[in-house]
Chain A
Amino acid sequence: MRLDGSPPGPTREQAISSGTTARVDPVRVEIRGLTKSFGSVRAVSDLGFTVEPGTVTGFLGPNGAGKTTTLRMVLGLMKPDAGAATFDGVPYPSLSRPLRTVGAVLETAFHPARSGRNHLRVYCRAAGLPLQRADEVLAQVGLADAGHRRAGGYSLGMRQRLGLATALLGDPAVLVLDEPANGLDPEGIQWLRGFLRHLAHEQGRTVLVSSHLLSEVEQTVDRVVIVGAGQLVREGSMEQLRSGADGAGTVLVRSPEAARLAEALRADGTGVSLDGDALTVSGRTTAEIGARAYAAGVELHELRSQTSGLEEIYFQLTAGRGQFAAPPTGPAAEETTR
């Protein structure tokens, strides 16, 4: 056993290849108008978004932005003051077999004196699943060797894996994971990344994964939902966020015929600033600009997204919207409001 508690390589490969390749029936998660206050503090405010099957959706925001509260409302653990979350139209508490529809990891929750395997068996019994599912999911997350040990002795990474195993028990169509990368070593994060993408892309599951760090999920997620101070800040594909297609970034273009390209782009109503052979274009992806240049027969020497600092966009979007920030008033906040 390695120090970090991670299993040797072959088990991981097995985990991914031996998982059922059959695709699950897709389930769409719809969240509308969720609102929740704790006393005078409004934790979540009229939040709405959808999570599509077959994609990994990142649910991002600074600490205290209302991510966990939102997930707890989605899963029926907290009652929203207003709004609702549904799984193919059905709220969580009304699902006939919840574990078979939704698997969730909210925090590492287990009795420290109980073995990982027995922990899983408890929920097999309660959900009416065969007991061997416990061993199957342990193998799937690479914990087969540690299953008989007290869960209290697990490393942080192993605890996260046990949580994930619990979520997988019912072979659910939807996975909801709250900060699953916390406590994982780089190798573990790599593994989780591949695992989640496999579950979504190969098996058609709906995966919603929260994080306060964009960099942590950047390579995993297809779509992002960014929240700040309990409100939706941005929702869209990673590509949209990366290209800054809706105003958060620009694209740098160098061309010997810069002026002609600027003309062509302006004709489409695109914002362009010209400086010698360099163009700074806003509101268009690199792909769109490349296509336009190709169509206009313009030679390009450089085509580069200026928003490679994805973390920077994320920071701009969420600055001042965490738990420890001042209330979002004043010009700085105005700028980040959609």
Chain B
Amino acid sequence: MMRLVRAEWTKLFTTRVWIGLLVGAVALAVLSTVLLTAFAGDTEGVGIPPVGSPAFEQLALAGPANSVVLMLVLGVIGMTQEYRHRTATPTFLTTPHRGQVVIAKLVAYALVAVPFAVVVTAVNYAVLAVYAGSRGAVPALTGDNSRVVLTSALALVIYTVIGVGLGALVRNQIGAIVGALVYLFVIEALIRQFVGTAYKWLPGGGLEALTATFQGPDVLEAWQGGVLLLGYGLVAAVLGTFLAVRRDIV
């Protein structure tokens, strides 16, 4: 199994997709944190709590959670490129037990997502420390603050796993990515707006619970949110594995 995981890493790091996605994930997190800090204390407009308040600090430290979409895309590409570039054929010729390939991808991408999450979280904190520091207070990494940092990073890892599972299910790269974006930014947003009770059981609700900050509708406990997200990832992966094993490779 370990050699299959290493083969997946070789695949990932011998093209440049990962650089773009990592840079994008860092940029998205930093952008949200910078905007948040810039408008902090502007209670009249969007109502962002002032720099130095626990609410502000936890919101800003949860900045990396904004990048989950890019980690999802990383996982989706990791799986679907096999079909897009038809390398599924040599891959499954090398490993005829296709379930092992999907499991290797899940493990490989979960492990790769850890340093990715560390980088995104670290850069986000560095920017926040400088900017918020210049506006009055450097957020301390203690108590609830440290929990938000950890759970945001964990969310990045879990979304990567969900991406691999989704890719195994859908197989069409463009379809999987566009579908995921439409779902996350349109469908889930609508559900959140109009069917609040259902929302807490969706991936977005799980994410919000996991990285819980002070705002938002009725959501689960943080650990429940984490379990829910992991559950989505595993269900997608199990279904994807099942289908990958059964479908013909044409």
Which A residues are within 8 Å of any B CB, using their own CB?
72, 75-79, 92-93, 95, 98-99, 102, 104, 106-107, 109-115, 118-119, 121-123, 125-128, 166
Residues from chain B with Cβ under 8 Å of A93 in the complex: 96-97
A78-B248, A125-B10 given; name 18 further pairs at CB < 8 Å.
A72-B249, A76-B92, A77-B89, A77-B92, A77-B93, A78-B250, A93-B97, A109-B85, A111-B87, A113-B16, A113-B17, A114-B14, A114-B15, A119-B14, A123-B90, A123-B94, A126-B95, A166-B90
Instruction: Determine whether the beta carbon of B96 is less than 8 Å from that of A98.
Output: yes
Distance, CA A123 to CA B95, complexed state (A): 10
8 A-B pairs (CB sep. < 8 Å): A77-B248, A93-B96, A111-B81, A111-B85, A113-B15, A113-B16, A114-B11, A114-B14
Contact at A110–B96, with CB atoms within 8 Å?
no
Min distance, Cβ B18 to any Cβ of chain A, angstroms: 11
* B interface secondary structure, majority: helix
A95-B97 Cα distance, complex, nearest whole Å: 10
Report whether B7 and A126 are in contact in the complex, using a CB–CB cutoff of 8 Å: yes
Please name the residue on chain B nearest to A99 by beta carbon: B94
| Contact among B14, B86, B246 with A122 in the assembled complex (CB-CB below 8 Å) | B14
A92 adjacent to B96 (CB under 8 Å): yes
Cβ of B95: which chain A residues have Cβ within 8 Å of it? 98, 126
Q: Is B6 an interface residue (CB 8 A)?
A: yes
Contact pick for B89, options A109, A114, A122, A127, CB 8 Å: A109
Q: Nearest chain A CB to B173's CB is how many angstroms away?
A: 12
* CA gap between A106 and B94 in the complex, in Å: 13
Question: What residues on B are CB-neighbors of A75 within 8 Å?
Answer: 93
Contact of B3 among A98, A111, A125 (CB under 8 A): A125
Partner of A77, one of B14, B15, B81, B249: B249
Measured between alpha carbons, how far is A166 from B81 in the docked complex, in Å?
Answer: 18
Task: Name the contact of A72 in the complex, choosing from B3, B85, B246, B248 (C-beta under 8 A).
Answer: B248
Residue B197 interfacial (CB < 8 Å): no
Question: Which residues from chain B contact A99 at a C-beta distance below 8 Å?
Answer: 93-94
Give min CB distance, B94 to chain A, whole Å: 5
Q: How far is the CB of B211 from chain A (nearest CB, A)?
A: 34
Q: Which 4 A-B pairs have the closest CB atoms?
A: A126-B7, A93-B96, A118-B14, A125-B7
Which residue of B has the minimal Cβ distance to A176? B93
Q: Are B14 and A115 in contact (CB under 8 A)?
A: yes
Q: Which chain B positions have C-beta within 8 A of A110?
A: 85, 87
A interface footprint on B72-100 (CB within 8 Å = 1, 0 otherwise): 00000000010001111111111111000
For A95, list chain B residues within 8 Å (CB). Answer: 96
Chain A residue contacts of B87, Cβ below 8 A: 109-111
Complex CA gap A166/B87 in Å reads 11
* B3 surroundings in chain A (CB, below 8 A): 125-128
Question: Which residue of the partner chain A has the closest CB to B100?
Answer: A126
| Chain A residue with Cβ nearest B14 | A118
A79's nearest neighbour on chain B, judged by CB, is: B248
**B144 CB → nearest A CB, Å:** 43
Contact B250 A122 (CB under 8 A): no
Q: A75-B93, A98-B94 are in contact. Are A107 and B248 (CB under 8 A)?
A: no
Question: CB of B4 within 8 A of chain A?
Answer: yes
Q: Which residues of B contact A123 (CB under 8 A)?
A: 7, 90-91, 94
Given A109-B86, A109-B89, A111-B15, are A76 and B96 also a contact pair (CB < 8 Å)?
Answer: yes
B77 CB to nearest A CB, Å: 11
The reply to whether A78 and B249 form a contact with Cβ atoms under 8 Å apart is yes
What is the CA–CA distance of A53 and B150 in the complex, to the nearest angstrom? 59
A178 to B119, alpha carbons, bound, how many Å? Answer: 45
Nearest chain B CB to A153 CB, angstrom units: 14
State in angstroms the CA–CA spacing of A118 and B96 once bound together. Answer: 21
Q: With A125-B7, A126-B3, A126-B7 as known contacts, state yes or no: A112 contacts B94, CB within 8 Å.
A: no
